[in-house]
Amino acid sequence: MCGLTGFFGGNVTGIPQRTALLEAMADRIRHRGPDDGGAWTDADAPVGFGHRRLAIVDLSPAGHQPMAAASGRYVIAYNGEIYNHMDLRAALETAGMAPAWRGHSDTETLLAGFDAWGIEATLKRAVGMFAIALWDRQQRVLTLARDRLGEKPLYYGWQGTGAARTFLFASELKALHAHPAFERNVDRNALCLFMRHNNVPGEHAIFQGIRKLAPGHLLEISLTQREPTPRAYWSGLDVALQGVRDPFTGSPTEAVDALEALLRKSIRGQMMADVPLGAFLSGGIDSSTVVALMQAESSRPVKTFTIGFHEGVYNEAEHAKAVAAHLGTEHTALYVTPDEALDVIPRLPTLYDEPFADSSQIPTYLVSALAREHVTVSLSGDAGDELFSGYNRYQITATMWNRLSSVPTGLRSAVAWLLTRPSPQRLNSLANGIPGAARWTNVGEKIHKGAGVMAAKSAEALYRGMVSQWQDPGAVVIGGREPATLLDTAPSAFGELGDVERMMALDMLTYLPDDILTKVDRASMGRSLESRVPFLDHRVVEFAWRLPLAYKLRQEEAGYTTKWALRQVLYRHVPKALIERPKMGFGVPIDTWLRGPLRDWAEALLDPARLHREGFLNPGPIRRKWEEHLSGQRNWQHPLWCVLMFQAWLEQESAAAGLVERVA
């Protein structure tokens, strides 16, 4: 795992000057690659790459980057792992197209593939995660490429004016800060998106003129083609549609057999490393499945890691311990005090580079720090929910829409108004008087949130409301206008999918790369730890979409069972009794912390005079939520955490660079 950066064009001349600038840019992302660094610039073209290396495969100097192809045509700066690269080498050798290998790195394999098969054809053959910058010396074309599901980040964009105008790119935004052309103008429209989604989603970035390359895409730029036009070489939507058009027709047992075989193949490939390797283990279905299959593929105990909390509602450590004991892993658990968790918060703006407000970022960083004390690579169970229908909100939203869609919108709005007249506390009190309602939690909050989206005109709109932090970000962000995203303008092809499948597809294309994978990448790389996601082997993804929904969300006598096929794989290795329990989120008690140890910190960031002076956020709706939260009248932890994470990020930006925002 590594970090890359670079530039194309601009007015920085002279090899020594360019090299020094590239080294400065790469040094900003040293945490992504503490083992080695390099810079390269073309003497005949205004292009240069900087690189930081976390050595995982081929620890020798033969793996040093930037790296030139044996032919001399291509130069690459690359972040990621190609798990099938030895198979690619074998194919090249069989075809008589292999160079004289200098080492055994996957970087060298990619370059040989580009020489032999071309860029796009090689990417389609590759199984892995990656962000790539590639210079073609022959055609004088710069290509950027990103892996299919978006595991590895890649930012790009033109910055500066006149002769100084430069095309910049990097694994993280902080690398761009070192270039004199970088402008640092906050994009208020992207800020609106952040307030809704708790991340800056899709191809947007927090700075004007900067974009993210979409998963499964590549782009090209040259002196004659200066405006990049990204194009897809793999489409998650196409995979979903092809899967439902050509479903798996075997028996349930055959489906589970096929799924286990694919997962074993993926995990076997992702256990490739020349450094110590382990896995995160929460004791839930997804991570337990990954660890169980890792242990089945290993001749020695797998190293597993869990973070525990003393607050029972947030603690999964005892469940993980039981799974680890059954599988015989070498397990390490660390119980974290509230003070240790709170100590992470000042680091978050630096870690995440642009505003990011999924509060599970805190335990994710802590478990990454724990794992890095023992290993350099850790596998995770991320993406199981999105691929195998693990979120309860899928079925809840589909059921709600099925009932609401037949009711006129006006009547739904009136009912919503009536439902929100009582406070959440009053609704909780009423619910407590209903026999058997003791199992319900925060029913008042749930009724208020559900009422807020009852006027939705489609299942997608209902789902968008259910997953939004601020329902009207334009009322919070001064001068901002919320751009449309896939949740607003889903292609008509989505109509081929059922309600649950549409939500799964939307999550795979948005929530997974924008939230989950961003969270894990920054948290793990912040500790120089490579995190791998076996469920995101594209062959597993493609098979998961071929499985009929009944093999994922299965209706049984006791209700719906989520992730049915995945559970059956796991039950072959771990007793059902160790796994079956209510789903837990990987979270921390932000709601109570904001009323307690974080209150003064939050109060300073939410001060109305400060908000007014900074000019980004409207103090009115923010202060109302803050006061209601402090009083216990409502739990507004999620929208408030969005505001606080932006404010903390802005404070750091301002302190580091004297940020002066200009309205576009």
Q: Is the pLDDT of residue 660 over 60?
A: no
Instruction: Provide the pLDDT for residue 405.
Output: 77
Query: Cα separations (Å) of 97 from 84, 88, 103, 113?
Result: 17, 11, 16, 9
| Residue among 208, 138, 182, 204 nearest 7 (CA) | 182
- Tell me: pLDDT of 440 over 60: no
Residues near 275 by beta carbon (within 8 Å), at least 6 away in sequence:
55, 56, 59, 375, 376, 377
Q: Please, which residues bridge with residue 7 across strands?
A: 48, 168
pLDDT digits (tens, 9 = 90+) for 184-232: 999 999 999 999 999 999 999 999 999 999 999 999 999 899 999 999 9
Specify the pLDDT at position 312.
Answer: 59
Of the pLDDT bands very low, low, confident and very high (cuts 50, 70, 90), residue 661 is very low
Q: What is the pairing mode between strands 330-336 and 303-309?
A: parallel
DSSP state letter for 283: S
Strands 530-532 and 377-379, by their bridges, are: parallel
Q: Is the pLDDT of residue 43 over 60?
A: yes
Q: Measured between alpha carbons, how far is 306 from 303 in angstroms, rounded to an integer?
A: 11
The runs of H, that is alpha helices, within 482-563 are 499-506, 518-525, 538-546
Domains along the sequence of the chain with CATH: 2-185+202-234 (3.60.20.10), 247-389+511-578 (3.40.50.620), 392-502 (no CATH), 590-657 (no CATH)
3-state secondary structure of 632: coil
The string of pLDDT tens digits covering residues 328-354 is: 999 999 998 889 999 999 999 999 999
Report d(CA 191, CA 94) in Å as an integer.
52
CA 392 to chain centre: 20
User: Could you report the per-residue pLDDT of 269-324, keeping only the tens digit for each?
Assistant: 999 988 999 999 999 999 999 999 999 999 999 999 999 887 656 678 889 999 99
Q: What does the DSSP 8-state code read for residue 82?
A: E
Please give the torsion angle defined by the CA atoms of residues 281, 282, 283 and 287, in that order, rounded to the nearest 10 degrees: -50
Give percent of the chain above pLDDT 70. Answer: 92
Tell me the C-alpha to C-alpha distance, in Å, between residue 302 and each of 278, 295, 353. 6, 6, 33
pLDDT of residue 662: 38
pTM for the model stands at 0.93
Mean pLDDT value across the chain: 91
Residue 517: strand, helix, or coil: helix
